[in-house]
Amino acid sequence: MHKKGFIFDLDGVIVDTAKYHYFAWKKLAESIGISFTEKDNEHLKGVSRIRSLEKILDWGNLALSNAKFQELITAKNDDYLSFVNKMTRDEILPDVPRVLSFLKEQQQPMALGSASKNARSILTKVDLINQFDAIIDGTNVSKAKPNPEVFLKAADALKMKPTGCIVFEDALAGIEAANTAGMISIGIGDKSVLSDAQYVFKDFTEISNEFLHQLIIA
């Protein structure tokens, strides 16, 4: 039987929590006098929360004490989690359940590879946690994308070689990480943003079971 390792990012791929990050980061930035747009938020996708706050401070040319920095990080996560705690299966992005079910039927190993430290609670909320054979999240990794650590650990957890893995990502940093790891990269989102991916689809409704089958047997 042909087997490939299928690795999925979480935010913007499985569920749309990117908007919740945007709301929380915008509130934080404006609380310290820094304007924050949806375009700014694009640069934080797939980036750890500490690095994200460092970027915001750089944009605003602002320095904070370590205590204030930690206070803001905690407040941002609390705001984000207040949205997450209200999540239901309605938050799953279109056709994700079909793709996961098809791969499960084909007995393909699947992992989540996300920088989020809230990945397990989100997957539990939307009732998808049992679809994955391995979950590598922000609690398992120390290096943020575009470092490939999260995907290499996911491949290892699936007992697959990196070259036998396929990554679904919505962020440029994640696509870079997958490419560096020697994996097939599939972008979910805007072709102009994710042009470094080997394939790009607007969303999973554009990904046919036949395409998935071809990936498996390639």
Q: How confident is the model at residue 33 (pLDDT cuts 50, 70, 90)?
A: very high
Query: Can 11 be counted among the known catalytic residues?
Result: yes
Question: What pLDDT does residue 215 have?
Answer: 98
pLDDT level of residue 87 (50, 70, 90 thresholds): very high
- Check residue 15 and give its pLDDT: 95
Contact 155, 162 (CB under 8 A): yes
Q: What percent of the chain has pLDDT over 90?
A: 86
The confidence score (pLDDT) of residue 48 equals: 83
Mark whether 9 is an active-site residue: yes
Question: Is-contact 158 181, C-beta < 8 A?
Answer: no
The angle formed by the CA atoms of residues 140, 164 and 115, to the nearest 5 degrees, is: 25
**Which domains occur in the chain, in start order?**
5-15+89-217 (3.40.50.1000), 18-84 (1.10.150.240)
Whether the predicted pLDDT of 195 surpasses 80: yes
User: For the chain, what is the mean pLDDT?
Assistant: 95
Mean pLDDT on 113-126:
92
Q: What are phi and psi of 45, to 5 degrees?
A: -65, 130
Pairing between β-strand 134-136 and β-strand 110-113 as defined by DSSP bridges: parallel
Q: How far is CA 137 from the centre of its chain?
A: 9
One-letter amino acid of 179: N
